[in-house]
């Protein structure tokens, strides 16, 4: 899950509708990640939406390689730990979707593709949905929207993104009150991977002075 989530960001600016934070490389970060960087994350409210904005800048004279992803959790509406139903999900595409799965030690089987079971175009959410599969992980830009519905079928929330990989997860065996809908520009290693960091699948590259920008 990277190192940025464990670090304290500097508040750059704030208003009634937006807050912007910055994290800059230090000798401490270079002991774990060998590149200079500037990472800014902003949260912007408009109407009934929240934009989460990512900006990654390479301030150095050398190429930089990075991955970035989000791990936002959303409470199930009307959560009742005694009941099995948690509502359902839909996507902006409902046919021909394929998943990859965790194989060992947090790494994936990147070769085997599992068809996503979507009767009536829905992924039914039960309290044990993630016990066997751990994570619904889709790559290759198959979807760019995840919609969550209450048990009675009324809409609850939507997450939209341009990221090429998305993970959908809730803690297996925990009957947790939340689900995570996670856009990623990156992915954990394939179980057999032994190459360089820069050659990993879904790696992002920035030339000197270049900036990466995205929003979900």
The CA angle 189-104-88, to the nearest 5 degrees, is 85
Per residue in 22-76, pLDDT (tens digit) is: 999 999 999 999 999 999 999 999 999 999 999 999 999 999 999 999 999 999 9
pLDDT of the residue at 1: 78
Residue 106 has pLDDT above 90, yes or no: no
Task: Work out the percent of the chain whose per-residue pLDDT is above 70.
Answer: 100
Q: Tally Cβ neighbours within 10 Å of residue 135.
A: 19
Residue 6 in tokens: 């464990």
Average pLDDT over residues 97-102: 95
pTM over 0.85: yes
Tell me the chain's radius of gyration from C-alpha atoms.
18
The residues, ordered by sequence, that sit 6+ positions from 61 with a Cβ below 8 Å of its Cβ are 208
């Amino acid at each position: 899950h990277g190192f940025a989530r464990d670090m304290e960001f500097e508040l750059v600016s704030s208003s009634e509708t937006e807050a912007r934070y910055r994290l800059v490389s230090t000798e401490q970060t270079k002991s774990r990640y060998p590149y200079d960087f500037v990472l800014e994350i902003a949260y912007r409210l408009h109407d009934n939406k929240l934009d989460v904005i990512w900006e990654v800048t390479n301030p150095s004279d050398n190429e930089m390689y990075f991955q970035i992803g989000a791990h936002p959790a959303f409470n199930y509406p009307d959560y009742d730990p005694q009941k099995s139903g948690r509502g359902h999900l839909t996507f902006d595409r409902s046919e021909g979707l394929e998943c990859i799965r965790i194989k060992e030690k947090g790494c994936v089987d990147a070769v085997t593709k599992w068809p996503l079971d979507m009767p009536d175009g829905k992924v039914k959410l039960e309290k044990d949905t993630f016990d066997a599969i751990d994570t619904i992980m889709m790559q290759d830009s198959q979807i760019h929207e995840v919609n969550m519905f209450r048990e009675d079928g009324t809409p609850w929330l939507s997450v939209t993104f341009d990221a090429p990989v998305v993970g959908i997860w809730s803690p297996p065996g925990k009957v947790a009150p939340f689900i995570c809908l996670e856009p990623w520009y990156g992915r954990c290693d394939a179980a057999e991977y032994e190459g360089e960091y820069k050659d990993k699948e879904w790696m992002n590259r920035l030339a000197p002075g270049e900036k990466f920008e995205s929003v979900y």
